[in-house]
């Protein structure tokens, strides 16, 4: 024991054991969303409140379809990773695991549903 350095004793003792990858993915998705979100807000805002025909025509065009699908995919993955850290900080025990699993499932389900809807509207 006495021969172990402080660093050696600390390595791998973190709660997630994959914190670097997690932090890096948050950084990548946040920078992607810095570009996607402003474009999405004005694109979505322009079509919200329109008639059914207007909305279908809007998402039949490549730019709104690709932008919205990308925003939903990157956005929900960003949410999945972000909310996991939040849950890890404020919830303990079994509830922590259950909540994280629920949020991961919800994020994938919502992203898949949104992308399916866009694909059906666009094609």
C-alpha 87/C-alpha 108 separation (Å) is 17
Build a one-symbol-per-residue string for 10-49: x at contacts with another protein by CB under 8 A, - elsewhere.
Answer: -----------------x--xx-xx--xx--xx-xxx-xx
C-alpha 48/C-alpha 77 separation (Å) is 24
CB atoms near residue 2 (< 10 Å): 3
Contacting positions for another protein (CB under 8 A): 9, 27, 30-31, 33-34, 37-38, 41-42, 44-46, 48-49, 52, 55-56, 59, 68, 72, 75-76, 79, 82-83, 86, 89-92, 106, 110, 113-114, 116-118, 120-121
């Amino acid at each position: 024991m006495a021969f172990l350095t402080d660093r050696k004793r600390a390595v791998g003792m973190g709660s997630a054991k994959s914190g670097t990858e997690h932090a890096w993915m948050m950084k990548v998705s946040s920078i992607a969303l810095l570009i996607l979100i402003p474009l999405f807000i004005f694109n979505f805002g322009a079509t919200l409140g329109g008639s059914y025909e207007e909305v279908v025509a809007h998402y039949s065009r490549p730019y709104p379809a690709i932008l919205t699908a990308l925003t939903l995919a990157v956005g929900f993955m960003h949410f999945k990773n972000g909310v996991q850290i939040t849950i890890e900080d404020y919830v303990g025990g079994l509830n922590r695991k259950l909540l994280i699993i629920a949020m991961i499932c919800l994020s994938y389900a919502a992203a898949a549903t949104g992308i399916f809807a866009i694909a059906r509207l666009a094609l």
